[in-house]
Amino acid sequence: MTVIERREVALVDLLDRLLAGGVVITGDITLRIADVDLVRIDLNALISSVTARVRSPWEEPP
């Protein structure tokens, strides 16, 4: 085993790295009965941390 293979990362560190760079989640769900689409849900989400450099999209402009 090399050093990289034995490296353990805590869940908190992994979440910190993901939120620092941002995470995009996408998905589609379709409820279908007898080959007829009844409900379709499209999910698009961007999850990231908000800092002084990256402002919140819901914040009032200065």
The answer to whether 29 and 43 are in contact (CB under 8 A) is yes
d(Cα 58, Cα 62) in Å, to the nearest integer? 12
Nearest to 24 by CA among 1, 48, 58, 42: 48
Question: How does pLDDT run across 3-59, given as a tens digit for each residue?
Answer: 556 667 787 887 787 777 777 888 999 999 998 889 999 988 887 776 666 666 676
62 pLDDT band, cuts 50/70/90, is: low
For position 44, what pLDDT does the model report? 87
**pLDDT for the residue 47:** 78
Q: What is the 3-state secondary structure (H, E, C) of 2-50?
A: CHHHHCCCCHHHHHHHHHHHCEEEEEEEEEEECCEEEEEEEEEEEECCC
What was the pLDDT predicted at 30? 92
